[in-house]
Amino acid sequence: MRDVVPTVRGPEDALAALRDAAPLTHCVTNAVVTGFTANVLLALGASPAMVDIEGEAGLFAGVADGVLVNLGTPNPQQQASAREIVGATRRWVLDPVAVGVLPVRTALAAELVAAGPAVIRGNASEIAAVAGRGVGGRGVDSTDDPETVHAAAAELAQRTGAVVAVSGAVDLVTDGVRTVRVPGGDPLLTRVTGGGCSLGATIAAFLGVVEPFSAAVAGSLVHKRAAEVAASVSSGPGSFAVAFLDALAGLRPSDLDAARLTTAGDAR
Amino acid sequence: MRDVVPTVRGPEDALAALRDAAPLTHCVTNAVVTGFTANVLLALGASPAMVDIEGEAGLFAGVADGVLVNLGTPNPQQQASAREIVGATRRWVLDPVAVGVLPVRTALAAELVAAGPAVIRGNASEIAAVAGRGVGGRGVDSTDDPETVHAAAAELAQRTGAVVAVSGAVDLVTDGVRTVRVPGGDPLLTRVTGGGCSLGATIAAFLGVVEPFSAAVAGSLVHKRAAEVAASVSSGPGSFAVAFLDALAGLRPSDLDAARLTTAGDAR
Amino acid sequence: MRDVVPTVRGPEDALAALRDAAPLTHCVTNAVVTGFTANVLLALGASPAMVDIEGEAGLFAGVADGVLVNLGTPNPQQQASAREIVGATRRWVLDPVAVGVLPVRTALAAELVAAGPAVIRGNASEIAAVAGRGVGGRGVDSTDDPETVHAAAAELAQRTGAVVAVSGAVDLVTDGVRTVRVPGGDPLLTRVTGGGCSLGATIAAFLGVVEPFSAAVAGSLVHKRAAEVAASVSSGPGSFAVAFLDALAGLRPSDLDAARLTTAGDAR
């Protein structure tokens, strides 16, 4: 590894730009987290819409500022929607939930990775599975540290051209050339369903205002910071989820503390 | 416009009647807002049920006190459910989410409007699209003031026989002969997913106890008043959504302040 | 009825075991309550996953520690998922939501009961319908006291080999030989959508660590106790739902107060 000068647009600027633009963020996401995801986007200042019907999803992706394709509950309508979307836009995030274990989504993820997502976001198990390095986790959980899949993530980025974002105690964002690490956050976010899935949506919203690497870094930092604020005022996972939305809405660009980010070149 | 004597049953009486009857309120609604919508109905004092399966929806609509057909995520099962419902009851609300932009729901909305809803509820963009006056909004958002579609809404009401309810900073309810305006509320309600969709469900619940015009006015006023109470005790969209449910449950008929309503005859 | 010595593993031990094991709990459940159900399981200390796609549900059930099949919105994918699941595991809970009134789920419930669930959980109307004793309720509501279906529940348990859990002001759990009654809780839990459905998921989580009778008793007691804690700090159904999640997360085994349980043999 060697130190490199960060070339990302700063998260503060990205958040200010998002608030100005209110990017139309189109989500095809799983049935468990649709409501929370929409509320995260609304709190952040984006404009969410969930259009997952065959014959509509592609058209809508063409006018959206950023798109999320999350494979958590990929019923036939969502499968068709995903295929329409990837032909209609390049500003889309792939979230390969529980890929590796389950055949329908694993095959679909392989097809979608080949279609060129701007960002691939997952936990360590999911990224390992997409990269062909593991058999995936027990579902949406992950016991792996993002560092354990750093090399696999960097190779996946190089091979596909996508930015790869790995979530964990310290998030890791790589384009195969440089890696930014995003520490912080709070474990309570893992006790709320949609904590990770809504990060994919947040990155999709940022795709409407900045390039993919900056979008992934800004999304991670925003979630980490809002989780810290929320944890300081909550007494369990229920009140934390409520406070997380309040914190997202109240977050000012100057609160983001980008100094915590560390940047390094990827070993090759 | 000319002043007319209001003939609506008062919102206070409507709320008291709803609390007594606990109307069975059947919702076919989008995947994003099902949970919040059910919680709004439960908080209000209604009895929600979401039955959106072919072969069941029509049967259930026949025993329900009021029905909502919301087109936010109209998958094939929900399309079939909507067609069953409109043959089984006249006490139903059509919420044409994002109609005008997207072809599946736009065609379905045209078919459903012709089937005779008791109430059509939407934002200004959606009502303009249903009335054939616009191309719809960017999804569920609307930048239009309800006043800009007043004439279109009144004509839609006259043509279809439905009461038309347009949501915005000041809600507008018209049957083509008279119009009631409902001011108040709080912008935070637009930062919670399902704020508008749950109003459609609330109006459907009121259809179980009063006629359509009174149901639409009562629903709007209840949401405006509960939003005001909630905004006074919350610190962001997360806590607002929680407080909104508490406020709905705590709302007494005498809190409704119907004096804020203004009534006028429609120009023709 | 005669007094018998309880043979169930105590709820305190069951909760401690659940916290240690974090059982992977697979839910096929209705669209209204997926998010709340996942949050209940996360708060409790289980690891939820909702896999309701044909070709995946059976595989996943085979690795899950406990499974819920809830019939609230049984679309074709969920019907196929349910059939896969019952061939892949014996540790599953059937929640026959609104069975008796609606034909698709009523036929499916009859088929699933014959496939051998470990636990059947419902309100009095639903249990009566499954037992062939009634025509079901108005949907998810129930006006019946569990005691009114005690005999039907005990016979259903004897006939199917399943533990039958009936929810109400006093929950009733029977295997056809003995019955445990679980008093307590708070009516506010009936004002939150998913209050009952999430109990089915909680029992499924306990199936990962204890046998079915103990799982049903522990699940009921945990929900009753958490509801009491939540009611003491909330001011309506919105804040209650939030506090319920916090209370589940904060619940210690020693808080469970199993002394409130009463056990009796079933009359025959």
Average pLDDT, chain C: 93
Q: Looking at the predicted structure, is the pLDDT value of residue B135 above 80? A: no
Measure the CA–CA gap between B14 and C113, rounded to whole angstroms. Answer: 43
pLDDT (average), residues A62-79: 97
Higher per-residue confidence, A258 vs B217: B217
Q: Is the pLDDT of residue B137 over 80?
A: no
Cβ A191–C47 below 8 Å, yes or no? no
Cα–Cα dist B171/B174, whole Å: 10
Measured between CA atoms, how close is A30 to chain C, in angstroms? 9
**Residues of chain A neighbouring C248 (CB-CB closer than 8 A):** 236
Residue B138 and residue A49: Cβ atoms within 8 Å? yes
Interface with chain A: mutation pick from B30, B40, B193, highest number of A CBs within 10 Å? B193
Asked if C231 is an interface residue toward chain B (Cβ–Cβ < 8 A), one would say no
With contacts defined as CB-CB under 8 Å, which chain B residues touch A25? none
The answer to whether A4 and A261 have CB atoms below 8 angstroms apart is no
Query: What digits encode the pLDDT tens for the residues B92-104?
Result: 999 999 999 899 9
Mean pLDDT of C206-227: 98
Q: Is C121 annotated as a binding residue?
A: yes
**B77 at C interface, C-beta within 8 A:** yes
Q: State how beta strands A24-28 and A47-49 pair.
A: parallel
- Could you tell me which residues are beta bridge partners of residue A172? A166, A181
Predicted pLDDT at A6: 43
Answer yes or no: is pLDDT of A144 > 90: no
Whether the CB-CB separation of A142 and A220 falls below 8 Å is answered with no
Checking if the pLDDT of A3 tops 50, the result is: no
pLDDT at C2 over 70: no
Measured between beta carbons, the chain B residues lying within 8 angstroms of C36 are 35
CB C19: neighbour CB atoms within 10 A? 15
**CB proximity A73 to C under 8 Å:** yes
Residues 6+ apart with CB under 8 A from C63: A101, A138, C24
Judge whether residue C268 has pLDDT over 70: no
Structure-token pair, residue A227: 């989780």
How many contacts (CB atoms, under 8 Å) link A and B? 99
Does B53 sit within 8 Å of C74, measured CB to CB?
yes
Considering chain B, what is the average pLDDT of its residues?
93
pLDDT at A1 over 50: no
Mean pLDDT within A72-91: 97
Of A43, A59, A77, the CB nearest to B191: A43
Distance from CA of C14 to the nearest CA of B (A): 30
Rounded to an integer, the average pLDDT of A229-250 is 98
Q: What is the mean pLDDT of residues B5-23?
A: 85
ipTM above 0.95? no
Q: Which residues of C touch A33 (CB under 8 A)?
A: 35
> Do residues A166 and A153 touch, judged by C-beta distance below 8 A?
yes
Q: What pLDDT, on a 0 to 100 scale, did the predictor assign at position C143?
A: 58
Q: What domains lie within chain A, and their CATH numbers? A: 11-265 (3.40.1190.20)
Q: pLDDT above 70 covers what percent of chain C?
A: 93
C218 pLDDT more than 90: yes
**Taking CB atoms and an 8 Å cutoff, what residues of chain C touch A36?**
35
Return the pLDDT at B143. Answer: 58
Neighbours of C268 (CB within 10 A): 9
Q: Please judge whether C103 and B50 are an interchain contact, meaning their C-beta atoms are less than 8 angstroms apart.
A: no
pLDDT tens digits, B188-226? 999 999 999 999 999 999 999 999 999 999 999 999 999
Helices in chain B by DSSP H: which ranges?
Answer: 11-21, 34-44, 57-63, 76-86, 103-114, 124-130, 150-160, 195-206, 212-231, 237-250
Q: Which of B35, B53, B54 sits opposite C36 (nearest CB)?
A: B35
Count of B–C CB contacts within 8 Å? 99
Look up residue C268 and give its DSSP letter: -
**Which range has the worst mean pLDDT, A70-84, A133-147, A203-217, C61-75?**
A133-147
- Which of B32, B34, B41, B197 to probe by mutation at the C interface, max C CB count within 10 Å? B34
Residue A191 touches partner C, C-beta closer than 8 Å: yes
Average pLDDT, integer, range B224-234: 98
Q: pLDDT tier at B267 (50, 70, 90 boundaries)? A: low
Q: Tens digit of pLDDT for each residue in A178-210?
A: 999 999 999 999 999 999 999 999 999 999 999
Answer whether residue A8 shows pLDDT above 90.
Answer: no
Chain B's closest residue to A44, CA to CA, is: B191
Cβ-proximal residues to C70 (8 Å cutoff; 6+ apart), any chain: C27, C28, C29, C30, C33, C95, C97, C197, C200, C201
For range C93-99, the mean pLDDT = 97
Residue-wise pLDDT tens digits, C132-178: 986 544 544 455 899 999 999 999 999 999 999 999 999 999 999 99
Q: What is residue C7's predicted lDDT score, i.e. its pLDDT?
A: 46
Please indicate if any CB of chain B lies within 8 Å of the CB of A255: no
- Share of residues in chain A with pLDDT > 90 (%): 89
Which residues of B are documented as binding site for ATP?
A: 121, 167
CB-CB contact of C67 with C61 (8 Å): yes
* Contacts A–C by Cβ distance under 8 A: 99
* Nearest CB neighbour to B239, from listed A52, A55, A246: A246
